[in-house]
Amino acid sequence: MSKKIMDQLNVSPLPEPTVLVTTKTDDKNPNIITIAWTGVFSHSPAIVYIAVHPARYSHSILKESMEYVINIPSENLAKVTDYCGIVSGTKVNKFEETGLTPIPATVVKPPLIKECAVNIECKVKDIINYGSHDIFVGEIVAIHYDEEAIKEDGNPDLEKIMPYGYSFGEYRSMGEKLGVAGYSKR
């Protein structure tokens, strides 16, 4: 039987979804930031969050605009997603450098990324500081899906969306379906 080994406090083993967040103010070009610390706070009302370090270029844009779009990249965008996380928007226009296509959102100023199958428009309701990062709590004001990413029953098709995650400095696919909610009791 193997034993547990205590390690230094490190949150890296927690699997994290990987998303591209777009930001924009009236006087700045749209920017893209790669975020792995994101998730759902509430489904009613629909509340999500992103965690951003204050030193990041997008942090000041977020504070000024109080809006963002969470764009969910498919596995085929992993290299572009990595690039958007390591290059600063103060130095390059990430849309031009990556070839990603900005398209107008319906409610907020930051654009949607056309190449992402899912785009979630958010308005910031609160900013909470927890040490190293600020949490931008956003209310979802619109969600967009590529038509091909919706199944006949109207639900999103994860096989077509192909989201992926980040853990221990690696991007990893989600893999095969293991079951559905409540399958342990059926």
| 101-113 confidence digits (pLDDT tens) | 999 999 999 999 9
**Total domains in the fold of the chain:** 1
End-to-end CA distance of the chain: give it in Å, rounded: 32
10: in domain:
no
- Backbone conformation region of residue 182, classed left if phi is above 0, alpha if psi is from -120 to 50, else beta: left
3: in domain:
no
74: in domain:
yes
180: in domain:
no
8: in domain:
no
What would the mean pLDDT of 67-94 be, rounded to a whole number?
A: 96
CATH of the domain at 141: 2.30.110.10
Rounded to two decimals, what is the model's pTM?
0.92
Residue 7: pLDDT over 70: no
Range of the domain at 99: 16-172
Residue 13: pLDDT over 70: no
186: in domain:
no
124: in domain:
yes
66: in domain:
yes
Between these two residues, 8 and 127, which has the higher pLDDT value?
127
